[in-house]
Amino acid sequence: MPENKDTGTVKRVEWEEDRFPRPMTKKRSLLTYLAASVRFGQFLIRREIRYYRRRPIDTLFFLTYRCTSRCKTCTLWQRTDRSEEMSLEDWKRTVDMCAEMGARYFELFGGDALLRPDVLIPLTAHIKTIPGSNCDLVTNCNLMTERTAKGLVAAGIDEIWISIDGVEEDHNLVRGRDKTFSKVEKTIGWVREARGPSGRPQLHANTTISNLNYSTFDKVLAYADRMGMDFNHLEYVGEFWDELLDRSVVEGVRPSPYFVRQGDFSVLVNEEQARIIKAKVAQLKKDVRSMAISLQCENVDKLTIEQMVTGLCDNRRCYITRGKVTVDPRGNVLGCPFYGDWILGNVRRQHLREIWNNEKHKRFMTHFARGHMKLCEHCIIGVQRNPNLTQNIRDYLNRARRRARM
């Protein structure tokens, strides 16, 4: 296993638990590789079975829609209403219902989840009482403190995903806030100190690529490696616009995504910029061979130059609508995080069993299957979260080939 450059201790670098086992390198034993591959295979089998049975496998919890960033690639921060946000006890009951139905992966999200300090750490601790559970937090770090970082580690958080779209001012430009990069740097240091040699939680640098940072995003990998982070994920930006949303109205419900074009300014790249991104990613794949960090760039790899320019995606099926329990801040269970007004039910008033697979849920899945939701053709989340069985296996083998050349 790779050695921590700062302390000389062994740094634990796993391949996102059983979901994405890290392919074997010269530093990993055959036994470790086989064990990880078995877990990966088991996850794929469970995922496919649950897809066809329409059973929950993971969750997406919006603790709040409010946000402290002003990102140029996202409009979620424009939602400022905090009324009727669920209490800690409401969220705990929701976790228990999801676990009762078989979900084991819990993603705590926002907005800025750090705006809910009354919920975040105790909810994490509650999730970790469930055998086999995995809990992760996605954060911009704006409100992170040393006490909160230590509290999350002590509660047992498995992964912390930190948005890093560039280094120094390049990051601040995209996030729309001065000095936000300094909070990122402090957060990494606090978490690494709190986790010590255990390597838990894993630290993920999540980099969204757009025309705002196409020429500088590649600096993040070396920075994240130097800071002792475990993964750098490269994801292409998503974007919707009003005319597309108008063509996606289903049963009178208009989608309400948070990757919406702001005015006339598009964050999609042109052809020349797309080719620069592809070339930079190819170079990063070579550079990472000498680093301790792992690079994940399947999102960008899957997209063609034309798709990056037009924003079109080849989404043929959706695991999100059939296996991910998406809950908004008020307890509404959504058919999709981008259809905020297509409400399947509310966990404050109903058990999840009464909500999941009800008639409204089935109609939503039917509309997707019949191609009625035009925004799905531009859903970048689908590229990242909806690989089918064949794509998953192919991606894993491609990673293994890259690692074998190290």
Residues 6+ apart with CB under 8 A from 193: none
Which has the minimum average pLDDT: 3-12, 41-50, 124-133? 3-12
Of 48 and 359, the structure prediction assigns the larger pLDDT to 359
- Full DSSP string of 53-103: HT---EEEEES-S--S---TT--GGG----TTPPPHHHHHHHHHHHHHTT-
**Model confidence band, residue 352 (pLDDT cutoffs 50, 70, 90):** very high
Strand arrangement, sheet containing 343-346: 294-296, 231-236, 202-209, 159-163, 134-139, 105-109, 58-62, 324-327, 332-334, 343-346
Closest-CA residue to 158 (of 105, 207, 93, 96): 105
Share of the chain above pLDDT 90, in %: 72
Q: How far apart are CA 62 and CA 64, in angstroms?
A: 5
The pLDDT, as a whole number, for residue 6 is 37
The pLDDT, as a whole number, for residue 298 is 85
Closest-CA residue to 369 (of 55, 81, 51): 51
Closest-CA residue to 59 (of 331, 398, 360, 375): 331
The pLDDT, as a whole number, for residue 387 is 57
The pLDDT, as a whole number, for residue 381 is 83
Handedness of CA 385, 292, 283, 226 (dihedral sign): positive
The pLDDT, as a whole number, for residue 90 is 98
Q: Give residue-wise pLDDT tens across range 40-55.
A: 677 677 767 777 778 8
**Model confidence band, residue 263 (pLDDT cutoffs 50, 70, 90):** confident
Q: How far apart are CA 347 and CA 332, in angstroms?
A: 7
Beta strands at 324-327 and 294-296: parallel, antiparallel or unpaired: unpaired
The pLDDT, as a whole number, for residue 388 is 55
Which has the minimum average pLDDT: 101-115, 206-220, 345-359, 386-400? 386-400
Residue 116 to residues 91, 109, 291, Cα–Cα distance (Å): 12, 11, 36
Q: For the whole model, what pTM was predicted?
A: 0.86
**Model confidence band, residue 390 (pLDDT cutoffs 50, 70, 90):** low
For residues 143-152, give the mean pLDDT.
Answer: 98
The pLDDT, as a whole number, for residue 397 is 57
